[in-house]
Structure 1
């Protein structure tokens, strides 16, 4: 993540406001500078002075993701060990962050826990950037559910937080319930992955499968400018879609 070095070094020349900017600035130990200071920053040896549009999107995704996860974990008043384990698995297995990346993610998580900003504030800023990328929104909802259901259930506070995310992200009730069933009710897991249900026809399932395979193809995710580590996450999602389709196809015999 090329942007991470710039953040750690403090040699960036752009203004990132809102709760995401506040948490990122605190996590990386410095305040964001105004664009007018670009000329000065560019004079620093080895500094580019600014983030590219893709790097800025990556920073926002990275900061918002771990900030929202922190607020979700805290929703019921305490952060459980199981929740921490799932968040760390997201860091290491899905995003495959190296030691520096993991420590940065943990710093963001800790700062968000202490932040007075609400989950909704982070979610709205996240959505303002990624609202035209429904696959990214869907993946974020998936991770939120995974952490929320770390102990096999959702508390009332966690359920309310996830429903709030769904409202902000414009996720339908049908899509919300299908995703919820993936983590809370294993019987519907494969249908939930394909965003359909047992009443869907074979043709509807095939159509939905083709749609998802196209949306979550790793090459397409990579083209969106997200961190390289996120490609592993996309690969896992791609494999999950394939497995779900294969299981349903075998069960139905088509």
Structure 2
């Protein structure tokens, strides 16, 4: 809580205008403290977004090297993600630089994750979004290599999400299968259940509850407010659309309202 603006405002106001001046100074000091507090929050928000952005592409670069060397396909996947985020100009240069940094032999994954965890503490949705982006990267070539799984396990452990990793992997594998399916936009019912973390034996109420929970966790505006870089809003929107598609698929199959 900021109080020094109020303190100095009260003292100076009292010196020049006794009690009336003191109260006027107190009010002006309160306005100053509030403005400074908002400015501080904005700076912290910007810092959090910058660290999220850089860590995402640095760890992505580290993931790309997990198989032993960075392939043309790894670079293509990173480029596709930058295209999906519509990164241009300095933002794209920063992403490419972070990606190259993550590929270096001396890249310290633990240190990167500790810094990320520090600025996202208490924001579980951001940690989950970060992990999901790395899962998406690992699965983009259609398979999960042992070294990639190991890196994902390290990330999940550092972010306190070890118990959720297998479920998230299953959801993303179902989502990847859906996007690669020759059926186009038609989602297989089995994939729809997996994407919501459910099974065909789940009740209608459980399905609605899981859908609302996932939509709340992946709401783009909410994630940006918590510190997700605005450039990554497109990723959150895609995820929310897939959750919606899975829910509609299950609703239709069950005749739910």
Normalised to the residue count of structure 2, the TM-score between the two structures is: 0.71
In the alignment, which of 174, 182, 192 is matched to residue 171 of structure 2?
A: 182
**Offset at 1:219?**
2.4
CA 1:76/1:238 → structure 2, altered by over 3 Å: closer, same or farther? same
**Offset at 1:199?**
4.2
In the alignment, which of 58, 69, 73 is matched to residue 78 of structure 1?
A: 69
Contact 2:126 2:226 in 1 (8 A): no
CA distance in 2, matches of 1:228, 1:183: 22
CA distance in 2, matches of 1:120, 1:67: 12
Bigger Rg, which one: 2
Superposed counterparts of 1:1-254, under 5 Å: 52-93=43-84, 95-114=85-104, 116-173=106-163, 175-184=164-173, 186=177, 189-254=191-256
Corresponding residue SS for 1:79: coil
Contact 2:172 2:195 in 1 (8 A): no
**Offset at 1:153?**
1.0
Which ranges of structure 1 fall in alignment gaps of 5 or more residues?
A: 1-50
**Offset at 1:183?**
4.1
Corresponding residue SS for 2:67: coil
In the comparison of the two structures, how many residue pairs are matched? 202
Give structure 1 regions of 4+ aligned residues with deviation exceeding 6 angstroms.
none
Which ranges of structure 2 fall in alignment gaps of 5 or more residues?
A: 1-41, 178-187
CA 1:172/1:110 → structure 2, altered by over 3 Å: closer, same or farther? closer
CA distance in 2, matches of 1:137, 1:243: 24
CA distance in 1, matches of 2:132, 2:191: 13
More divergent stretch after superposition (227-236 vs 162-171): 227-236
Q: Deviations over 1:93-135 (max 9, x none)?
A: 1x22113211211011112212513323322221222132222
CA 1:70/1:183 → structure 2, altered by over 3 Å: closer, same or farther? same
Which structure's residues are more often helix, by fraction? 2
Contact 1:86 1:146 in 2 (8 A): no
Matched residue, 2:33: none
**Offset at 1:154?**
1.1
Normalised to the residue count of structure 1, the TM-score between the two structures is: 0.71
